[in-house]
Every structure is written in structure tokens, then in C-alpha cells.
A = this chain, B = another copy of it.
Amino acid sequence: MIRISIDAMGGDHGPVVVVPALAKFLQRRPDARFILFGKQDLVQPELAKFPALAKSVELVHCDVAVAMDDKPSQALRHGRGKSSMWRAIEAVKLNQADVCISAGNTGALMAMARFCLRTMANIDRPAIAAIWPTSRSESIVLDVGASIGADAHQLVDFAILGGAMSRALFQIERPSIGLLNVGVEEVKGQEEVKEAGAMLRDTDLNSMTYHGFVEGDDIGKGTVDVVVTEGFSGNIALKTAEGTARQIGGYLRAAMSRTLMAKIGYVFARGAFKALAEKMDVRKINGGVFLGLNGIVVKSHGGTDDEGFAAAIDLGYDMVRNRLIDRIEADLQLFHARRHQHALSRAPRLGEEGEGEA
């Protein structure tokens, strides 16, 4: 049984979208159990519309809801301990739930998740991982905005986190990892990216393959399973891709309604356009995953509908079922053991002969 805690007040629409999403999801996965945190007078009427939910959903009343435009510091001040967002995260900490889903505002959710769950041992900073549809299949890109800038060690952490997620979510035995970089050689700067590359190359991990540097256009090609970058460029890449997709969608709609012939063509090709629209449907890949914390938190798009929110629940469910946290911990341990070994084997021998050869 997988237990999922839900912030019912998050997102632009709150319980009106969240509750129908639970109903959708439970049809696919009847074994899931939900704890729903939110304002009773708003959530209960929605629940009443889906009597089948009663046996799988427990509602916990919370007075406070974090607003979509609350600053992280505000949200922490007013909402710590009592908001639906906080309580949903805390349920994971208290082992009442295996994963938390919220469509609330990203900054507040990350601040609360960090404060409540804390980062894992050996991890400096959490990252937000996005699932990116590619020409091949789907890749994971991180960090897409948890923090700005990252040193080499943090980038390597992101690689381990993303690699574990790729194995848990897509059952890729040995995912390939690429570091996002620019193609121009001999450009100064980005020493941290080069250093991270050297660390990943030197420390052989059975759980992943280090591919090398990748560029922006490699993400959509699906050149690697996991694209690692710091949060500023990751966020800009993600939003630029979303913007480009919308822009081309707009061009396409305009082109297909311009002439009578085009309109006739559209009627014939309607099935194809429907398939294309499904391919480009961002709802299906809805959900940023917070990685590196002692617990899994999935952030759904704030403006999504029930279909989209259900997809975010899918994501959380799959990661719990495939033991994401255990995988991350095992990989981190292995990595640090190997790094230690690597350092020993390269250290000048100062003690007895043979030391450091282990």
C-alpha cells in the first residue's frame, strides 16, 4: 500500500481540481491511500461528489492555506506547523505518508520541504528535477530552479540524484549522465562544470554512465537520460522550451485556419493533430520532483487540471513503489566510498609501504 499526502489547497484551483484528480488516480491505482490536508468547508463538499473516495481518503482540517503569491519567508512565518502545505509535507516526515504532492507555489513548497524534511546526509542542497519529453523518449533535467549556481560537488550530487530517479522512474539500468555546457571551447568560466566532469569520469559508478558535456539542443534529442545543470540555466532552458513549444503551437493553429484548403486538410488530418497534441500535452508530464531531501515531494503545476494533477500523483506513486530514496542513499554511499578509494589510491604514500593500495 502506498500512502500519499496531498495539499488540497495548493494551485490556482485548490480542492476543485485536487479531489477529482484523486478519483481519477484511484481508478488506476486502487491500492493507494490519501491523507488530504485543507479547509474542511471547502474540501468536504468536493469529496461528497465522489462517494467512492470515502474508503481511501482521510481529510485533515487545516485553518491556513499558503497563497500562490506568498513569498517563501512569509509562507514559513504564517504557515509553519499549521498550513495544509506544511502538514502535507510533515506527514512524510512523521511516516504517515510515503510521498507528498502539492500544486502550491514552488518557492514556498521548497522552503517548507527543506525546513521540515532536511537535506539528506552528504547532500548540500536539494534540486528540482523535471521530466523532459525528447525525440527518443523522456529524460530528466535537474536542477530547474531550486537554487542558483552550483559548485562541482553539488553538480555531482545532482547527477547521483537524477541517475537514481531515472532508474526508479524509467527502469533504466544504467542511465547516461550529461553535464549541460556551451560548445565554445577555451571559454573561460564554468570551471565547476569541468571539475564535475572530471569527478564523474574518475569515479566509476555501476549505477550510471558519464557521457560528457551536452548542449542545449541535446536535451530535446534525448542524447542522455539525465541532464545536469545548476538551477539558473536549468530553469531558463525549461521555460524557453515550454515557450518555444507554445509559440510553434500558435503558428500551427494560425496556419491551419488561414485558408479553406488548410481547413479541409485539417479535417482529414484531425487524428494526426490529435496525436500531436497528445504528444505535446504538458499535463501528462506534470510534476517537478524535489530531490535530495529525506522524503519525496512532487510539485504539480499550479494551473493544471485534474488530469494534470493525477499525473503528478502518478509520478510520486511510481517513485515510492520503485524505492527512489533507497536508491539515492545506496548511490551516495557507493559514490563517496569510491571517491575515498580514488583519493587514497592517488595520495602520495607517506606511511608504510602498500598503504592506500586497498
Contact A147 B244 (CB under 8 A): no
Q: Return the CB mask of A100-131 against B: 1 if under 8 Å, else 0.
A: 00000011001000000000000000000000
The one of B147, B250, B269 that contacts A262, using a Cβ cutoff of 8 Å: B269
A45 within 8 A of B: no
Knowing A149-B189, A185-B71, A255-B276, say if A237 contacts B235 (CB, 8 Å): no
Q: A189-B232, A239-B217, A247-B221 are in contact. Are A265 and B261 (CB under 8 A)?
A: no
Report the Cα distance A271→B147, complex, angstroms.
Answer: 46
Contacting pair B255 A272 (CB below 8 A): yes
Nearest CB on B from A186, distance (A): 5
* A184 CB within 8 Å of chain B: yes
In the bound assembly, the distance between CA atoms of A232 and B188 in angstroms comes to 11
Residue from the list B135, B149, B215 in contact with A239, Cβ < 8 A: B215
Asked if A73 is at the interface of the complex by the 8 Å CB criterion, the answer is yes
Q: With A and B bound together, what is the CA distance between A267 and B266 in angstroms?
A: 10
Least CB distance, A308 to chain B, in whole angstroms: 17
Q: What residues of B have a CB within 8 angstroms of the CB of A185 in the complex?
A: 71-72, 107
Contact B280–A269 (Cβ < 8 Å): no
The answer to whether A106 touches B245, judged by C-beta atoms less than 8 angstroms apart, is no
CB < 8 Å neighbour of A186 from B72, B180, B241, B271? B72
Contact B251–A280 (Cβ < 8 Å): yes
Q: From residue 44 to 89 of chain A, which have CB atoms closer than 8 A to chain B?
A: 71-73
Contact A258 B275 (CB under 8 A): yes
- The CA of A183 and the CA of B73, in the complex, are separated in Å by 15
Q: Per-residue 0/1 for A11-25: is the Cβ within 8 Å of any B Cβ (1 yes, 0 no)?
A: 000000000000000
Pairwise interchain contact A220-B236, C-beta atoms closer than 8 A: no
The distance from the CB of A156 to the nearest CB of chain B, in whole angstroms, is 19
Closest to A217 in B: B243
Q: Enumerate A260-286 residues with CB–CB distance to B below 8 Å.
A: 261-262, 264-273, 275-276, 279-280
Does B248 contact A190, Cβ atoms closer than 8 Å?
no
Q: Is the CB of A269 within 8 A of B240?
A: no
A237: chain B residues within 8 A (beta carbon): 216, 236-237, 240
Please determine whether A269 and B265 come into contact, CB atoms closer than 8 angstroms.
Answer: yes
Provide the bound-state CA to CA distance between A149 and B245, in Å. 27
A259: chain B residues at CB < 8 Å are 271-272
Bound: A225/B354 CA distance, A: 65
On whether the beta carbons of B216 and A236 are closer than 8 Å, the reply is yes
Q: Are B241 and A241 in contact (CB under 8 A)?
A: yes
Q: Which residues of B contact A215 (CB under 8 A)?
A: 235-236, 239
Q: List 16 A-B contacts (CB under 8 A).
A: A145-B184, A147-B188, A148-B182, A182-B236, A215-B239, A217-B242, A220-B247, A221-B247, A233-B233, A236-B236, A240-B240, A240-B241, A252-B252, A258-B272, A264-B268, A265-B270
Closest 4 CB pairs of A and B: A265-B269, A216-B239, A265-B268, A148-B189
